[in-house]
Amino acid sequence: QVNVAIRSSLQSLREKIEQLRELLLRAVSTRQITQLEGDRRQNLVDDLLTRHRQLEASYRNEGPEPDMSRSSLMAGGAKRGVTNPWLLEESEETRGLGFDELRQQQRRIIEEQDAGLDALSSIISRQKQMGQEIGNELDEQNEIIDDLTNLVENTDDRLRNQTRHVKMVDKKSTSCG
């Protein structure tokens, strides 16, 4: 019964590792995560696969020293010199901070970003208001220019009519004299 349970667990572990690999490939291909993060996660999945193979070999009593591989599996790979992959890209700002401290730092950063966005929003709304006022002023100036254009056209028409009358009077006066 124990052997059946172990074989079943190993098979289930293998299937779950394959599911992880497929989900990871899908996440990278649909750009849900960055390529760098995808590579880091792929290394973790490969490590899981290696540990799975070690477990299978240990179960079958294959390998040089079964007790040694079991202890290395149970120690979490510390004897192989593998560092914690989650800490590889930790910045100086967050190194050594606890979970609550990280959460507080994230909240502070978000509050600063919100304050910056609020300031940007007020600047943009002021620029919008100024743009609308400039647009209104341009509309008024265009109306004034249109009125002046109409007045100039009317004056030009009257001036031409009067010039025509003067020429006619001049013509008549020279013919009579």
Which carries the bigger pLDDT value, residue 79 or residue 42?
42
Give every CB contact of residue 71 below 8 A, 6+ residues apart in sequence.
79
Mean pLDDT rounded to a whole number for the chain:
82
67 falls within a domain: no
In a domain, 48, yes or no: yes
Which residue range forms the structural domain that includes residue 39? 1-62+127-176
**Looking at the domain assignment, is residue 94 inside a domain?**
no
For residue 134, is it within any domain?
yes
Greater confidence (52 vs 95) lies with: 52
Separation of alpha carbons 43 and 45, rounded Å:
5
On the question of pLDDT at 124 being above 90, the answer is yes
φ/ψ region of 63 (left if φ > 0, alpha if ψ in -120 to 50, else beta) reads: left
Task: Kindly tell me the sign of the dihedral angle through the C-alpha atoms of 26, 29, 30, 34.
Answer: positive
The verdict on residue 7 lying in a domain is: yes
Is the pLDDT score of 72 beyond 70?
Answer: no
Q: Is 2 part of any domain?
A: yes
51 close to 16: Cβ distance less than 8 angstroms: no
Q: Determine contact, residues 98/80, Cβ cutoff 8 Å.
A: no
Q: Which of 54-58, 79-83, 105-109, 140-144 reaches the highest mean pLDDT?
A: 140-144
pLDDT tens for 14-47 read 899 999 889 888 888 888 888 888 888 888 888 9
Helix (H, G, I), strand (E, B) or coil at 63: coil
For residue 100, the model assigns a pLDDT of 83
Per the structure, the count of domains in the chain is: 1
pTM for the model stands at 0.37
Lowest mean pLDDT among 7-16, 27-36, 106-115, 143-152: 27-36
